[in-house]
Structure 1
């Protein structure tokens, strides 16, 4: 099985289950997990990067968080 076959099977699997995938990505549990993970990553980035980029870090975190979970 080649890489193209694997990719195509993945696409087919997604198409067959995209409603379930969408539901899972916009669930309460996904919201909680994404908030914890994104908050941790943002806090870490703020510790190692210059303070001048803190606003951009928050903006990126908020944009990603808006796409995951149910708190839109």
Structure 2
């Protein structure tokens, strides 16, 4: 696997060990994207955030 894949796998493993912190990061990133795009892509960011949470077993939900 390439370096980017290795980094992604390490990040996923770290998130699994700290799901609460990872949830905060995902929520923050989602909020920033929604703010910068004027919520134009809200459905897509919700879907991406949910997929990210599922990848590490996070428990957060979209705040919309």
Which TM-score band (shorter chain)?
A: 0.5 to 0.7
Structure 2: segments with no counterpart, 5+ residues: 7-11, 60-64
1:11-58 per-position Cα deviation (integer Å, ceiling 9, x unaligned):
xxxxxxxxxx85x5533xx21011000000000110001423101001
Pick from 12, 16, 23: which aligns with 1:35? Answer: 23
Q: How far apart are residue 68 of structure 1 and its match?
A: 1.3
Q: Higher helix share goes to which structure?
A: 1
| Kept in 2: contact 1:26–1:69 (CA 8 A) | yes
| Kept in 2: contact 1:32–1:69 (CA 8 A) | no
Structure 1 length as normaliser, TM-score?
0.54
Pick from 26, 36, 39: which aligns with 1:48? Answer: 36
List, as ranges, runs of 4+ consecutive aligned residues in structure 1 with deviation greater than 4 Å: none
| Kept in 1: contact 2:30–2:46 (CA 8 A) | yes
Look up the match of 2:47: 59
Structure 1: segments with no counterpart, 5+ residues: 1-6, 11-20
Q: CA RMSD in A?
A: 2.6
Tell me the matched-pair count.
Answer: 50
